[in-house]
Structures are given as C-alpha cells and as structure tokens.
Amino acid sequence: MELASPIHPNHKRPLKLMEESAAKESQIMSVSEAQARRAVRRADLEWAPEVQDPRAEKGQKYAHHGMLSLLVAAFAGGQTRLRHVEHFSEDLGAGARRRLDVPRRISDTALYELLERQTPAGFRESLRGQVRSLIEAKVVKADLFPIGVASLDGKLCWKTTSRTVEGAKVSVDEKTGTVTSSLSALRAVLTSSKARPCLDLELIQEKSGEAPAFRTLFPRVCQSFGGQFQVVTADAGITCREDARVVLGQGKHYLFAVKGNQRHLHTLAQDAFACMPGPARAHPADRRNGALIFRELHVVHVAGFPSEVNFPGAVELWRVHQVSTPDDGSAGTTETRFFVSSMPPDLLTPTQKLELVRLHWGIENGHNWTLDVALEEDDIRPCQSSRDSIEVVTWLRTLAYNLLATWRTGAPPKDRRMLSWARAMQTLRDAFVFAELERPLATRS
C-alpha cells in the first residue's frame, strides 16, 4: 500500500493529511541529506542533444528536460500514473526542484501532451550516458561474478486488446476472436553487477523475433560497453548460428540455452548426456521459497563427439539438472536444461559455470520482474497514442529502473539483505521530497 505523501515544510496540506503523515513518519526509513542529494544528482540526467522539444517555442510553462527528468524520478519512486507524477511534482523538495528544473507543479495534462508528441530520438544515447556515469562513479561494477556478463532477453513493453498502433504485432485468439496488439523489446542487462543495469534495448520489429534483433543490438552494446563483459548469455530464442557468429565476431564468448528450435543440437545434447554424462562437476543445494533446491552440472567437450556439432565456436555442452523438494512434503519437480558454450574449458570452475547459469536469471528476476511489478509496465500505460509514444515511455521506464536499482544497491541493508523493491521506492521518493533538510528524516521534529 502506498504511503501517504510526507509533508514538506514549504507545502500547505489539510490538517487530516498532516496528521496522517506525522503518524506514519516514524515508519519511514531515515533518508540522510547526503542520500537525498545523491538521488537528486543521479536523476538530473544529461539528455542527449537528439532529444528535441516537440512543443511550440512560444507559451511554454515547463522546461522540456525538466519534465523528462521528473518522469524518470517519479517512475523510479513508484509514481507510475501521470496524476501521481503531478502530485509528485508538487511534493518535490527545494533541492530537487532546482536540480531537476521543476519550479512548480506540472499537470498530468501537460505531461501527457509531451509524451504524445515526443519522438524516441536521443533516448538511447541518454541511457548510454546514464550507465557510463554510473560506471565511472563505480556504482556499477562486476560485484556478482569474477568476469563481466551481459544477458539478453526479450520482454513485452506494451499489450492491449482495445487498439493497435503502426508496427505492432497483431495476434488473434482462434477460440474467442480477440485481437491483441503488442510491442516487445530485446534488452541487454549487465547481470554481473548487483544493480543489473539495462545497457540498451531494441524494439522487435513486426513479423520478426529476438534473434534478428540480437544482431542489431549486440554489436551496439559491445561498441559502448564491451569493456564491461566477456560473456553473453541468452535464452533459446536467440540461439542460432548467425547470432553465435555475431558474438564471436565481437571477441566475446557465449552461453546459449538449447531447446527444440535447434533440433540437431538439442538431439545431440540429449544423446550425448544419455550415453556419457560422466560425474557431476558441481552439485550445490540451497533453499528457496519453502523448498530444497538441488542442482547438478554435467559437461561434455564437443571435440569428443562422434558426429559434427556444426555450431560456430561451440566448445562444450552443459546439462543442468534441478530437483525441487518442498518442505511441506508435497510432490517435487525436476527440470533438465541444456546449454552450448564457446568458453575455454578452464575459463571457469565447475561451480562458477553453474553460477553463470543462475546469473542469467538476473535479467528475468531482477530487471524484467521489477519493470513488470514495481514499475507496472504491464498494467499502467501513461501514453499509448502511437508507437513513438509507447517507445518513449519504455525508455523513460528503463532510465527509471536504472535509477531505482542503483539506489537500492547503495542503500543500507535491512537484516543483511538489500531493501525490498517497494521499500527502495519509498525511500527514493522520500529522498526527492526531503532534499536539503538540515537533519535526517527520522530525526525531524
């Protein structure tokens, strides 16, 4: 449940709201002045020159980049509806107002009209600049894995049954006749970092898929951030010979999931592990969601196969077998997955290889889940008047995700664990509202 807006000293509020805020203030985690300044500074994005103001030159009430930065800060603080962004603009602290160039409340109508007209030109460059500044400040680093890892995965960014836009994918349910329009994007995330920042994204074209988008996105990611990772991981939708050649051409290694879409390779892996799996290379166990999870890794070298693998750069095939046993005694589940790797056999230890498989889940459990649940990408659509407006909102949400994720990783842990995403959004919002207070929020009288 969303916390009532804290009361800033410069704002006049009804007595009832003041009493509610005073009662809840003790429940809010302390936000120091230094933390507030840091949050505001990171939200003050360097917008690329290509991000042009679509509004008429005369009669402008609000600064263009200030409105965009406000949207990023508000989304990161959990204010996902334009009406809530308007309230957020009213609650901003004095420091945030000056830094973000938001001198007064900005109406939801003005925000919608901007999103309706804004083109996505320059947003990719702005995201790139955001990530570079976080890397330079050592906020983003390879703190989860000994070598850098970039993971790529497709994710829905817009879906509706009420309308369509140019370039959207259209599907029809044969049973109900329901017509669904959707747009998806392939995203590159630095999963070797605790923050798991999104480095870039590419909207998937109509009548296309993740594999062709990979060939456009990956070289661009390597050009901008190639020094941050050595290995790229991807699900089976990207696994193909063309994409493997792209990875090798960029001087990187791949770990691709293998399923039925690569029939020859999948059959070869199944046969190989059925006949000669050898001893388990790694077999850790841990607890998750009330169940004991046991995993084991088997590896076979491609050079020893009796038949030709015919996959560029392939060195090893991996099999990960997982058994989940619930603590309540109910029936457990098993799952077996196969992977193809171009990495030299001695680049990683067996334990690290299994960790790399789990590391890829960071793009789904960290980045994708947060966008869907915390930033409500699946449910809240601030502006969907055109493909451009949908893409602009997607970029703004991605910038907001990076802001929120880096704030969360830098926040003091709670019970030796990182803050929940909901708590992180609350404290980040408090940082914007209480910027430039003389004392931390928890000690205000």
What pLDDT, in 10s, does the model give residues 150-185?
999 999 999 998 888 988 899 898 889 899 999 999
Residues 239 and 369 in one domain: yes
Residue 186 pLDDT more than 90? yes
Given this model, what pLDDT does residue 180 score?
Answer: 92
Residues 150 and 232 in one domain: yes
> Dihedral angle at the C-alpha atoms of 288, 293, 296, 302, nearest 10 degrees?
-60
Which residue from 282, 192, 182 is spatially nearest to 228, judged by alpha carbons? Answer: 192
Residues 170 and 282 in one domain: yes
Residue 15 pLDDT more than 80? no
pTM (2 decimals)?
Answer: 0.88
Mean pLDDT in residue range 390-417: 93
- Residue 247 falls within a domain, yes or no? yes
- Residue 2 falls within a domain, yes or no? no
Q: How far is CA 214 from CA 189, 221, 375, 391, in A?
A: 13, 10, 25, 18
- Residue 402 falls within a domain, yes or no? no
Query: Per the structure block, which two tokens stand in for 345?
Result: 């056999």
Residues 89 and 56 in one domain: yes
Given this model, what pLDDT does residue 287 score?
Answer: 74
Report whether 203 contacts 183 (CB < 8 A). Answer: yes
Domain that holds residue 308: 124-374
- At 154 the three-state DSSP class reads strand
Looking at residue 197, which CATH number applies to its domain? Answer: 3.90.350.10
243-280: per-residue pLDDT in tens? 999 999 999 999 999 998 888 899 988 988 887 666 77
Mean pLDDT in residue range 203-229: 95
22-51: per-residue pLDDT in tens? 334 334 446 788 888 899 999 999 999 999
Q: What's the domain count of the chain? A: 2
Name the average pLDDT for the chain. Answer: 87
Which residue from 2, 18, 29 is spatially nearest to 442, judged by alpha carbons? Answer: 29
Cα(431)–Cα(429) distance, integer angstroms: 5
411-444: per-residue pLDDT in tens? 888 778 889 999 999 999 999 998 764 444 443 3
Q: Which of 319, 347, 374 is the last residue of a domain?
A: 374
| Residue bearing the bigger pLDDT, 6 or 101 | 101
Cα(183)–Cα(390) distance, integer angstroms: 9
Measured in whole angstroms, the distance separating CA 424 from the mean position of its chain's CA atoms is: 15
- At 242 the three-state DSSP class reads helix
